Amino acid sequence: MIAGFIKRIMKTQASGDVAKQRLQIALVCDRLEVSKEVFGLIQQDMVQLLSRYFDIDTDGIVFNISRENKKAHLVINTPILRLKQASAKKATKTLATAP
């Protein structure tokens, strides 16, 4: 009880939530028959891809797998801090040169 109170003050994540997140990752690997390593690489690639266009808060990024109609859905939720200046300029340039 006291431990729980301290935990709440310390804002550590409840173990129930940890269990849910771990299960979701484990099950997507089971269902898609990809290893945890491969799924890790997919996550890395997605972060890299998004980082080309946006400054993203990589600590706040959440990969979730939901299952609907017997299909697994990958949902990536990421806080976007701002559009990257370079990519913004490039986009404007492309627009300007367009016929």
User: Would you count residue 20 as binding another protein (CB under 8 A)?
Assistant: yes
Judged by CB under 8 A, which of 17, 33, 37, 59 binds another protein?
17
3-state secondary structure of 69: coil
- Residue 90 touches another protein, criterion: CB under 8 A: no
Q: Which residue has the tokens 């080309």?
A: 52
In the bound complex, what is the minimum distance in angstroms from residue 2's beta carbon to another protein?
8
Between 73 and 90, CB nearer to another protein: 73
Q: Are residues 17 and 7 in contact, defined by beta-carbon separation less than 8 angstroms?
A: no
Nearest approach in angstroms of CB 72 to another protein is 10
> How many residues belong to the site for another protein (CB under 8 A)?
22
83: which DSSP letter?
A: E
Positive or negative, the CA dihedral 52, 37, 64, 61 is: negative
Of the CA atoms within 13 Å of residue 29, those in its CB half-sphere come to 15
- Interface with another protein (CB under 8 A): 1-2, 4-5, 8, 14-17, 19-20, 22-24, 26-27, 30-31, 66-68, 70
